[in-house]
Amino acid sequence: MKLNNEKQIFNLMDTNGRRNDVINALQGYLSILSNLNGEWDNLPNSLSQYLFYKKAIELSPDVFSIHTPYDNLQAEINRNSEFKNAIENNDLTWIQNNQDSYRELLGKFDQGIEDRARHYTSNLVKLGFATQKREITSVGQLLLDKIKLNKDELESLLPVDNINIIYLRQLLKLRIYDAQGQNFYAPFLFALYILIHRNRISENEFFELVQGLNPYCDFTEIDRYVDNYEEGNVVENIHINIPDDIEDSIINESTFRKYFKNQKSSTTVDVYMAFYNMLYKFNNERNSARLNELLQYYEDNKPMLNKAFGCGKNIFIARNGERPAPEEFVRKNKKIFELSLNKYLYTQFELSKRLDQIREYSDTTKRIFRATGVISFDNGYVELAYKELCKHIFKGQLLRQNICDKSNDYVEYETEYDSYFCSITSLAEILSYSNEEIFSITNSVKEEFGVSDVGQIAEKVVANRKREFAEFIRNRYPLEKVKELLGLFSDRSNDSQLKEYVSSDATVPTIYEFVVGIAWYYFAGKRIDLLSSYNLTLSANFEPLVHAGGGQGDIVIYEDSKVVMLEATLMNSSSQKRGEWEPVLRHSVNLKVEEEMNGTQRQVTTFFIADEFDLNTINIWKAVAAVPMQSSADRESFTDNVVIMPINSAELSALTGKSDKYDEIINNVHNLFEVEKNNFDLNWRDEFIRKIV
């Protein structure tokens, strides 16, 4: 990624179309891109950008609930039948031959539709999942689960899933280059270095350090800078050029509005200007009346003014309601009054704006960092997860050496399909560890954990993780809270409440899977290994991020004598027919066939959990048990008595109090479904057709 100049702040997601569920968005955008045909371009050369945007709003209707430019465009397309026919049939030749007649209509495709498609997919480019031409890279194929991920020896020690590993690898490789492509800054390496160096740091300080630096910075004294850093310091050494027309005399309104802008609200600038005029008047007439007027206005608009002129801190040293003598006030706030007031205020405005941008961009950076699973964000503080493990894998001195460097390989490093950034590279390869160094690291970790075998390290880390998860559920999700949350899903107006409590990074369907799993944990008497059963990617703080995919059920719980699969959906009863029947049946059949082929003798049961069902869904799942079913993974393999039991949210909530009857209830489900085999003839249709044709 390149910056245009030293003032630019890097961001990992374009602000146009930014959303909270970042990881889900990237996964969805990549999936759409993989299903598009034709060259990535706009009309009249290609329909790909238009179709991408169309699919994006279909995929996330809750996020893209308002899309006026698209709606207006569709209405105009519908009024032009020949053009509409060409769009529907991907007839680019007709569109190109007739583009002069539809020039105005073609121009509207790039006004809130195709341009947004480019913005959204640029985020895939920034992380190496796609090229500038929107070709999906090998790393992107890995994220789509079209290529199998192979963990190296060090990655296998970390208790994180494949999606966590993919993001960890890409962020370890991430470089921010200067405009010439000659110097780079590695923000994630710096992030890890900070957390190893300082152990625990406030979230604001952490992101001001990581987001506030760039390849133009001097990293010579970086150790001392990190050691002594305090919130807000990142803007201290930035030089601000004062415009020539900001002099010592009072700034007129047109000049003020020219330089003290707020892109989101013109009325906010009115507040800025009123405050400035009162401050200027007090500076010239230092009396109690002017000071009282100034402080009263400041207190009435304090958050807005502190953000604009105080870098988020109080502009004045004065308590609310306090009215000191003018001389005392000036003495306590002498940095404001000792030089040019206008130049001071302009400088503060520019520095505050920069700090505000750093914090704004940090929101997305935090969500993407969280996807690695190795950084914990908790109660306003940041620290490494699995410190006892990570401090050996990520060596502070090595990170320090690679935070920044001179390099002329920008094009080769990240812009091509087969570039280093876009290629599949493991953690040990990225950090250039030799076999000897890997051996030394694993020995250090074995000593740290007091074990003699590498395999025991992962077991111990996983065991610790499971204990932490059980404690997390006990503290964050007591039974009554789980019941309360289950009751909120039926009304989608509760979505914001669910996201606020569970995870702002996840979609509500993903949150539903997460909560269903915890409810089942209580139903099972807390005896199951829920953490290993989820097919969800979690943060280091156990927050759900995205459904991991991979052709598996939502939650698969393995015990010695039984396997229970939970398929959870928020689709309504009519949508379930289109979106859930096939995958639920496929997952259920494949799981049962796999268990039978492996000879485990375990009882296999699927529970289809939703907020509501239609009668056909209920009856079809019952009927499935009566006929042999073919595996989609092995067409030669069949099974019968496939059990798929529908349970709604309210019923699941009631079951959480029946943990003493867990095994009995599941056995009763099997008794309900299992039927006598009637030597079902798989060739019944072929034989009938032969008779009639």
pLDDT of residue 409: 85
Cα–Cα distance, 534 to 163 (Å, whole number): 13
All structural domains of the chain, each given as residue ranges with its CATH number in brackets, are 22-143 (no CATH), 253-339 (no CATH), 477-673 (3.40.91.50)
pLDDT of residue 633: 81
The CA angle 30-35-36, to the nearest 5 degrees, is 100
* pTM score: 0.88
Cα–Cα distance, 268 to 271 (Å, whole number): 5
φ/ψ of residue 592, rounded to 5: -70, -40
pLDDT of residue 17: 65
Sheet holding 200-202, edge to edge: 200-202, 381-384, 375-378
Cα–Cα distance, 251 to 275 (Å, whole number): 12
pLDDT of residue 306: 92
The answer to whether 594 and 630 have CB atoms below 8 angstroms apart is no
Cα–Cα distance, 665 to 298 (Å, whole number): 65
pLDDT of residue 408: 76
The structure tokens listed for 25 are: 């968005």
Structure confidence by residue, pLDDT tens digits, 599-640: 999 999 999 999 888 888 888 888 888 888 888 888 888 888
Cα–Cα distance, 354 to 436 (Å, whole number): 45
Place of tokens 């990240």: 414
Low-confidence ranges of the chain (pLDDT < 50): none
pLDDT of residue 466: 94
Element at 495 (helix H, strand E): helix 495-501
pLDDT of residue 679: 63
pLDDT of residue 301: 94
pLDDT of residue 291: 94
pLDDT of residue 550: 62
pLDDT of residue 365: 94
